[in-house]
Homo-oligomer: A and B are copies of this chain.
Amino acid sequence: MISDRQLKILEAIISDFIESAQPVGSRTISKKYPLGISSATIRNEMADLEELGYLFQPHTSAGRIPSDLGYRLYVDSLVREYSISPRDKEIIQSLLLNKIIEAGDLAKQAVKLLSEFTKLVAIVSIPKFNKCRLANLKLVKVSDSKVLLILVTDTGIVKNIQLALSNTEQFVLDRISDTMVDHLMGETIENIDVRAISRIKEKLKSLGDVVDYLIPILRDALKSLNGTEMHVDGISHLLSTYEFSDTEKARHIFEFIKDQQALEQLIEQVPTNQLSIKIGSEIGIDALDDCSIIASSYKVDGNNAGRILILGPKRMDYGAVVSTINYISNTLSDVFSGIYL
């Protein structure tokens, strides 16, 4: 179907285009790449590659640009993953393994690292909180009128919710939270249903009014935790990308990224358990037609925990991005799974 020589030419064209962002001509290839064939021959091959759908011309008298199909072939069989330099590994490790880090900030740190290394947009999602298992729950009196509900999952994520509750002693709150922990520990948050709640209510009858008031609030609070948390970093990199130097295009992408719902949907369709690369139209979103997405996921104790992705122009250094995202997602998994603790 496609000859070895054609493959080499395609690779040269795509490499060159990734570098220069300009349509690549036959003369450029014959001069810059030691394929030992003349520009005329390359022209002929290019015409064939175009017919096969791997290349196209923006207009008749211009060089060639890889099509989405061309990129696909490139990514599938030509890209080699780099190995990350020991220096970079060290940086990543030291920033993610810093023990004095707020648990919720780990994802933020990761997303920052990822966008700084790749110079592209990085997105890290934290799994829906209500799919997590409850590891601990604590009611803390903060002031005369405020109580803080602190929830800890087995993945070490902490949520705190402010509740209005006056004239309640800490030891009452302790009784309530201890009982709740006894009954709910290990349960996924979405599974905490009316029956579980009413059993707890029964147990705590002796405490009186407070329970009647508090329990429904607690139930609502738990119910409210159903959003996917996402962290995005490196958006400004888009502006220095040739493809998006037109403000209009950049704005479309910006607005897509800002749209929580759309982004959530995008993230959710990323397969877990394997690295996935989507190129241009494969993404299926108009605003991202000029982009590629490289996505992976990280795990906590072997379970899929969250997703981690890179968004950039199709014309990106796939090899470098893949190795960076792999290394960071693995490190993140390790840290979350506590193998370094």
A contact residues vs B (CB 8 Å cutoff): 99-104, 135-136, 138, 140-143, 145-146, 148, 150, 152, 154, 156, 158-164, 166, 217, 220-221, 224, 235-236, 239-240, 244-247, 250-251, 254-255, 258, 338, 340-341
Contacts and interface: CB of A to CB of B under 8 A. Distances in A.
A135 B239 CA distance: 44
Task: Please state the number of chain copies in the assembly.
Answer: 2
**Interface of A: prevailing SS:** mixed
A99 B163 contact: yes
A140 B99 CA distance: 16
Given A154-B143, A164-B341, A148 B239 contact: no
Contact of A258 (B158, B236, B341): B236
A238 to B, nearest CB: 9
Contacts of A150: 138, 150, 158
Contact of A101 (B145, B161, B258): B161
Nearest to A233: B258
A156 to B, nearest CB: 6
B338 A145 contact: yes
A161 B341 contact: no
Given A103-B148, A143-B135, A154-B142, A239 B224 contact: no
A236 B251 contact: yes
Given A102-B161, A150-B158, A158-B160, A136 B143 contact: no
Contact of A160 (B102, B217, B240, B338): B102
A152 B136 CA distance: 16
A136 B142 contact: yes
A49 to B, nearest CB: 33
A255 B237 CA distance: 9
Nearest to A239: B251
A101 B162 contact: yes
Nearest to A153: B142
A197 to B, nearest CB: 16
Contact of A220 (B100, B152, B246): B100
B103 A162 contact: yes
Contact of A152 (B140, B221, B224, B258): B140
Given A102-B159, A135-B142, 8 more contacts: A99-B163, A102-B160, A102-B161, A103-B160, A136-B140, A146-B338, A246-B247, A247-B247
B148 A152 contact: yes
Contacts of A142: 135-136, 152, 154, 156
Contacts of A104: 160
Nearest to A258: B236
A217 B341 CA distance: 13
Given A247-B245, A250-B239, A221 B160 contact: no
Contacts of A258: 236
Contact of A143 (B221, B240, B338): B338
